[in-house]
Homo-oligomer: A and B are copies of this chain.
Amino acid sequence: MTQTNRRWFYAAKPAGALGVQHFELRTEAAPIPGPGQALLRLCLVSVDPAQRAWMMARTYRPQLMPGDFMPAFGIGEVVQTQSPDLKVGDLIEGDFGWQEWAVISPKQVMRRHSRAPHPPLERLIGALGITGLTAYFGLLEVGRVRPGETVVVSGAGGAVGSMAVQMARLAGCRVVGVAGGAPKCARLGAELGTHAAVDYRSPNFRNELKAACPDGVDVYFDNTAGSILETTLSLMNQRGRVVCCGAVAQYDQGAWGAGVAGVPGILISRRIRMEGFIVMDYEHQRRDAEAAITRWLDSGQLKVLVQVVEGLEHAPRALVELLGGANFGKMAVRLELT
């Protein structure tokens, strides 16, 4: 086995847009598990807009500071163990960062699959992992969508968005996806079954969104914040709900934006609920959610879209491209042994 471990560090705080120059790759000695620990070989690491948010401010985790090792969710395989709870061949999900090898203890395990047959990695990271669960709980628990309602999803071509539009459709809603550019909008309809897709870059965005929602908007699943949030809020029905999931439009601005016109005015006059959440709050409901998602996957009703980048060395570039809107579906980096 390898003696070295390539690891990505967050090197410098971006003033504006994030670039590959804000990261530094270091090669360190491979870690060695101590008593109660195991050595994990990372197979797939995640590339998420949230990673950019972590650099910006304290979120649900402390702010990421220059010099910090780059955190990331991922999936790895146990190759050495000194823990009875972690067996060689187990597939482990958790926050193990952008690196090749990790020494872990059982309490870092978010989910464990025995060596026995397990779902494909793409399915684990794209639908059954944080991505799919975020869409699921956001729609059903925070948004409380009901059949027949109109649901708008921004960042609809993104990891969570591409799951949210499909799940909203499966919940019997009219689904309108918002994404950047005609090609993405076309894919939303063709591949994910949205009832309408609207390009937020259009100069007539508001009118086009309004036309796509003839009965108004009941639930808005917001992955972007900014002007898309402001526009959609103005089209919402009484007792509407805004699921605050992400703010990708603001991350590269380096600070939370100036705010959204109509907050709280429209919230009051139309009795709207706006609610932030993170998937970890619904841990106690995870098994039920996984079962539901698995049924959709097995029946072919839910598609997993994972865009895989080969090689850990490309992780920062993948994140920069993601923030520029290059992805369709979940983005992840596959690691090969060095």
What is the interface of chain A, defined by CB distance below 8 A to chain B?
A: 53, 57-60, 222, 225, 229-230, 238, 242, 244-247, 250, 256-278, 281
When the two chains form their complex, are residues A57 and B269 in contact, meaning their CB atoms are under 8 A apart?
yes
Nearest-Cβ distance from residue A236 to partner chain B, whole angstroms: 11
Query: Contact partner of A261 among B222, B259, B272, B278, CB < 8 A?
Result: B259
When the two chains form their complex, are residues B256 and A244 in contact, meaning their CB atoms are under 8 A apart?
no
Contacts A259-B259, A260-B259 hold; do A271 and B276 have CB atoms under 8 A apart?
Answer: yes
For A59, the chain B residues whose CB sits under 8 A away are 268-269
For A260, the chain B residues whose CB sits under 8 A away are 259-260, 263-264
With a 10 A CB-CB cut-off, give which of A244, A276, A278 has the most chain B CB atoms.
A276
When the two chains form their complex, are residues A57 and B265 in contact, meaning their CB atoms are under 8 A apart?
yes
Nearest-Cβ distance from residue A141 to partner chain B, whole angstroms: 12
19 example contacts (A-B, Cβ-Cβ < 8 A) are as follows A57-B269, A59-B268, A59-B269, A60-B238, A222-B264, A244-B267, A246-B268, A247-B265, A257-B261, A259-B260, A260-B260, A260-B263, A269-B276, A271-B275, A271-B277, A271-B278, A272-B276, A273-B273, A273-B275
When the two chains form their complex, are residues B268 and A263 in contact, meaning their CB atoms are under 8 A apart?
no
Contacts A274-B274, A276-B270 hold; do A264 and B225 have CB atoms under 8 A apart?
Answer: yes
For A270, the chain B residues whose CB sits under 8 A away are 60, 276
For A277, the chain B residues whose CB sits under 8 A away are 268, 271
Cα separation A250 to B267 with both chains bound (whole Å):
14
When the two chains form their complex, are residues B258 and A258 in contact, meaning their CB atoms are under 8 A apart?
yes
When the two chains form their complex, are residues B267 and A256 in contact, meaning their CB atoms are under 8 A apart?
no
Cα separation A57 to B277 with both chains bound (whole Å):
31
Query: Contact partner of A263 among B259, B265, B273, B278, CB < 8 A?
Result: B259
